[in-house]
Structure 1
Amino acid sequence: MEPAEYADHDAVGLRALIAAGEVSAAEVEAAARRALDSVNPDLNALTLPLFEPALTADPDGPLAGVPLVVKDSGPMARGVPFTLGSRALRGAVAGVDHELMTRFRAAGLVTLGQSTAPEFGLNFATESRRYGPTRNPWDLRRGVGGSSGGAAALVAAGAVPLAHANDAGGSIRVPASCCGLVGLKPGRGRTPSGPLVGEAGFGQIAEFGLTRTVRDAAHLLDAVSGPIVGEKYAAAPPALPYAESIRADPGRLRVAVTTDAWSGVPVDPQVRDATVAAAQVLEWIGHTVTPASPDLTAEDVVEAAMLVVVSTGAAILRAPHRPDPNLLEATSRRVLSETQGFTALEVMAALDAQHRVTRAVGLFLTGYDLLVTPTIGQLPPPHGTLDYDDDAPGQSARSWIRRIFEVGPFTAAFNVSGNPAVSLPLGQSREGLPVGVQLVAAHGREDLLLQVAAQFEQAVPWSGRRPSISV
């Protein structure tokens, strides 16, 4: 199998070829390795040389033989370096598999490498001092978003059909928007966070992946969803497997749409236009669309997002080997310093803000089936727009959160509330850059998101778009 032929297939398509005996899993792996080697010099999206051999996996799993890369901020794979994109953690190696990694192995996914991420995942740009900038296959002068930026670049370029990603404030959806992918953030409790983490970011972090097709997202969610017994958050299982539910008609839905950021930051006109066009497609399909938005304040979203920042800092401070502050980027040093000074009353204030956001979103979605927004507020930013190592006086962790939310003001609210959300590649700018549109549903309704995503994929297909750097 040649890399170009390999890149024409999504994960489900590759698995079907392997199952039919038209190509072997070894041939697919060889093609994937050549594909990764061909695009990575341009993209700078891999942290390490490719694994030799690939990580072990069940040869009879539902996605057996399908190539995968995992992100350098989880899921940990036993024996693999795990540095969270930081120079300060160089040499750290994971001692156990994350439960999600266990499920990837059981699904038969062939893990070939590790993708780049910003330091500690606290950025919407994947441009760490450790790895340097990861470049966008649509325009090498622009960023890929973050924090799952390396994963997004490799999937968009066709080097792998899917990749692990996680999302604490938009880290699946923002790179999906920047790179033209399907980026599903599962709802709270849908995917596991253990065994070493009991409550990831106060319930605001979701583990999953990035794909090019809706059916791949559905099949991957079937393979990895469900909590570990005893986890604090657990979402009820779906009525049908997601791979089946995407073929079902969701019926006539009540859809709210907004293009206004809760913070009041300006939204690029091309991004607005893509969101309005998506709403028009929904009307054409037969859904009822109304301009409306949940009653949220930017300050509540920022305050609640500080729970993720503080939990990140606390995890680093509790680690067996404390990082050398001189090797940390400037914002990470501030995060560690402010975490040590964060009081119980401040934690309670942030939790109160989280509850206000959760109630506001929950109440809003009693009147609507879906909310449609832009994914980010602008086109993929040029490199250097979000400098995590900026050591200017007066900066703080909170001011950093406000800064990245100027680029991505729409995503974090739904980490705070725990609702499932997905970014779809529904727009394209005059410059040829992808523009993502976000759909949000009520708790437990990943099936509805995937059903509507499948309707979009049929009505306005995106599979024919290829970036300039591709296999």
Structure 2
Amino acid sequence: MSPLHAFGDDALGELDAVGIVERIRSGAVSSSEVVEAAIARIDAVGDELGAVAVRAYDAARAEAAAPRPGYFSGVPTLVKDNSDVAGLPTQQGGDAWVGAPAEADGDFARMYRATGLVVLGKSQLSEFGFSASAEHPRLGPVRNPWNLEHTAGASSSGAAALVAAGALPLAHANDGGGSIRIPAAVNGLVGLKPTRGRLAQDKMLREMPVRIVADGVVTRTVRDTAAFYREAEKVYRNLKLPPIGEISGPGRRRLRIALVTESVGRDAAPEVAELTHGVGKLLEQMGHRVEVVAPPVPDTFADDFLLYWSLLSLFSVQMGKRTYGPTFDASRLDNLTLGLASHCRRNLHRLPLATARMAASKRTSAKFFSGYDVVLTPTLAHSTPKIGHLDPTQPFEVIMDRLLDWVAFTPLQNATGDPAISLPLARDAQGMPLGMMFAAKQGNEATLLELAFELEEAVDFAPIQAGDPL
């Protein structure tokens, strides 16, 4: 099946966000022309991809006529539909209630728009972001533009699908177990989960016992990701973290890199492990020191993370009417959400110790990074599954076993708070993108971005438009 994309000869062209900024500033195109091109592209591919949750075109057109100041002034984007945007409902990827329009932007959206980005609406996600594949029984799946038979990952699936397909240069994503990195990996994108607390966040996410969710973006180029964090830092600066600053190319320092292809009971598939070792050899050719090591993950981690993750589901189910309003109907939730809630109820007695171990994982990580600068793993343990493999209407035990088998590497950094980036460095035997993940100690996004620039220069991040146009 040929890739589905919307690249064409319009105001967006084949430019990334930085390229669009330069084109707007030069006067070659206007903000309104760029926004209209994005609207046309979203309408061309968005429904087939199942990627759009809410459209807000009229407001975007009005804003494009007099865009907010900021580096990205006039550049179109979407916000993921688990973050509040003034005037739009927040449905959390489901249809279990009728959401009222938000009265104001959430803290993330306020920061995001302050960089000048124009929000055209909201992108689709899996229900509450719990699954690594968005396949809602009534709303439909979010499909991968590289091959529509495959998932676009999750939970930031709609964002990644639209960016990969060329409808937008970048889009908001967030990550509570891999949800920036997973869709980036399967859609051939760059996805950086930042250090805990790096960016402004909505109140509900800030108040978690262990703050596992981080907001960010998915992009097609490293320079777009670097530019976003540079500009976001001008709006919101966490003084407890070292600044990222201006990162515009490879670093000179040669790094100590640990290579891991095993996780707790869930190792990478042979093809994926071989490709990961291939990236390790490339890094050695660049002068970096690479050492194969055992996974720096305690044996209890997978069970602890699953229990903590299920607590979020139990909260959503139990507090649904109070949180989402009187129309909340738990019978419309999928089997994964309900199964996670049941898992938490059965294991509440284990939750305090599991949460304590999760919180303590940052100390284990800090000790590990005293000997290494970066750890390399595959982003995911095997190739991208087809739609249906993670269908949330299946029995909970089936879905969960398949999720744990695929998502074996990304959750660790959500517990530790460390930054990690997925880069499109490999393809599987069917030609589908396979991401490779690099993690570093807290506050060290600059190292990851410098390494990403170096790898982008060395490896062709082949664009989707190499296939047939729409």
2:124 and 2:142 in contact (8 A); partners too: yes
Pair 35,97 (structure 1): closer, same or farther in 2 beyond 3 Å: same
Q: Following the alignment from structure 2 to structure 1, what is the Cα–Cα distance between the partners of residues 97 and 234?
A: 31
2:264 and 2:302 in contact (8 A); partners too: no
1:58-457 mapped onto 2 (5 Å cutoff): 58-74=67-83, 76-200=84-208, 202-225=210-233, 235-238=240-243, 241=245, 244-247=246-249, 249-263=251-265, 265-315=266-316, 317=319, 318-319=322-323, 321=325, 323-337=328-342, 343=348, 345-390=349-394, 392=395, 395=396, 401-457=400-456
Pair 197,276 (structure 1): closer, same or farther in 2 beyond 3 Å: closer
Query: In the TM superposition, what whole-angstrom CA distance separates every residue of 1:414-464 from its partner, at most 9, and x where no partner exists?
Result: 111111000000001221100100000011001110000000001112154
Which of 420-429 and 127-136 deviates more? Answer: 127-136
1:31 paired to 2:37: yes
Taking structure 1 as the reference length, the TM-score comes to 0.90
Q: Following the alignment from structure 1 to structure 2, what is the Cα–Cα distance between the partners of residues 130 and 148?
A: 18
Q: Following the alignment from structure 1 to structure 2, what is the Cα–Cα distance between the partners of residues 216 and 373?
A: 23
Q: Following the alignment from structure 1 to structure 2, what is the Cα–Cα distance between the partners of residues 469 and 23?
A: 26
Q: Following the alignment from structure 2 to structure 1, what is the Cα–Cα distance between the partners of residues 314 and 101?
A: 19
The residue type equivalent to 1:114 in the other structure is K
Pair 308,266 (structure 1): closer, same or farther in 2 beyond 3 Å: closer
Q: Residue 435 of structure 2 aligns to a residue in which SS?
A: strand
Report the CA distance between 1:110 and its aligned residue: 1.0
**Which runs of 5 or more structure 1 residues have no equivalent in the other structure?**
none
Query: In the TM superposition, what whole-angstrom CA distance separates every residue of 1:304-360 from its partner, at most 9, and x where no partner exists?
Result: 3432331343255151526212211122223445556664x5331122321453333
Which of 116-125 and 294-303 deviates more? Answer: 294-303
Which of 47-56 and 213-222 deviates more? Answer: 47-56
Q: Following the alignment from structure 2 to structure 1, what is the Cα–Cα distance between the partners of residues 217 and 257?
A: 26
Query: In the TM superposition, what whole-angstrom CA distance separates every residue of 1:245-286 from its partner, at most 9, and x where no partner exists?
Result: 2335240110111212222x3423332222112111211111
Q: Following the alignment from structure 2 to structure 1, what is the Cα–Cα distance between the partners of residues 63 and 109?
A: 11
Q: Following the alignment from structure 1 to structure 2, what is the Cα–Cα distance between the partners of residues 158 and 92?
A: 30
Report the CA distance between 1:385 and its aligned residue: 0.9
1:103 and 1:223 in contact (8 A); partners too: no
Q: Following the alignment from structure 2 to structure 1, what is the Cα–Cα distance between the partners of residues 295 and 239?
A: 25
1:301 and 1:353 in contact (8 A); partners too: no
Query: In the TM superposition, what whole-angstrom CA distance separates every residue of 1:376-411 from its partner, at most 9, and x where no partner exists?
Result: 011110111112222x3xx46xx8555412111010
1:28 and 1:66 in contact (8 A); partners too: yes
The residue type equivalent to 2:101 in the other structure is V
Q: Following the alignment from structure 1 to structure 2, what is the Cα–Cα distance between the partners of residues 44 and 196?
A: 27
What is the number of equivalent residue pairs in this alignment?
456
**Which runs of 5 or more structure 2 residues have no equivalent in the other structure?**
1-6
Q: Following the alignment from structure 2 to structure 1, what is the Cα–Cα distance between the partners of residues 260 and 204?
A: 39
Q: Following the alignment from structure 1 to structure 2, what is the Cα–Cα distance between the partners of residues 177 and 245?
A: 22
2:46 and 2:52 in contact (8 A); partners too: yes
Q: Residue 48 of structure 2 aligns to a residue in which SS?
A: helix
Q: Return the match for 1:42 from 42, 48, 54.
A: 48
1:72 and 1:83 in contact (8 A); partners too: yes
2:173 and 2:179 in contact (8 A); partners too: yes
Q: Following the alignment from structure 2 to structure 1, what is the Cα–Cα distance between the partners of residues 248 and 271?
A: 29
Q: Following the alignment from structure 1 to structure 2, what is the Cα–Cα distance between the partners of residues 352 and 281?
A: 39
Q: Residue 46 of structure 2 aligns to a residue in which SS?
A: helix
Q: Following the alignment from structure 2 to structure 1, what is the Cα–Cα distance between the partners of residues 182 and 93?
A: 18
The residue type equivalent to 1:204 in the other structure is I
Which of 349-358 and 369-378 deviates more? Answer: 349-358
CA RMSD of aligned residues (A): 2.5
Q: Following the alignment from structure 1 to structure 2, what is the Cα–Cα distance between the partners of residues 65 and 73?
A: 23
Report the CA distance between 1:141 and its aligned residue: 0.6
Pair 248,137 (structure 1): closer, same or farther in 2 beyond 3 Å: closer
Q: Following the alignment from structure 2 to structure 1, what is the Cα–Cα distance between the partners of residues 432 and 336?
A: 29
> 1:458: which partner in 2?
457
Q: Return the match for 1:22 from 23, 28, 33.
A: 28
Q: Following the alignment from structure 1 to structure 2, what is the Cα–Cα distance between the partners of residues 389 and 95?
A: 33
1:386 and 1:404 in contact (8 A); partners too: yes
1:183 and 1:424 in contact (8 A); partners too: yes
Pair 113,138 (structure 1): closer, same or farther in 2 beyond 3 Å: same
Q: Following the alignment from structure 2 to structure 1, what is the Cα–Cα distance between the partners of residues 68 and 123?
A: 23
1:65 and 1:109 in contact (8 A); partners too: yes
1:370 and 1:441 in contact (8 A); partners too: yes
Which of 275-284 and 187-196 deviates more? Answer: 187-196
Query: In the TM superposition, what whole-angstrom CA distance separates every residue of 1:16-59 from its partner, at most 9, and x where no partner exists?
Result: 10011111111111111111111123212112345322184853
Report the CA distance between 1:361 and its aligned residue: 2.2
Report the CA distance between 1:228 and its aligned residue: 6.9
Taking structure 2 as the reference length, the TM-score comes to 0.90
Q: Following the alignment from structure 1 to structure 2, what is the Cα–Cα distance between the partners of residues 379 and 366?
A: 32
1:3 and 1:34 in contact (8 A); partners too: no
1:190 and 1:234 in contact (8 A); partners too: no
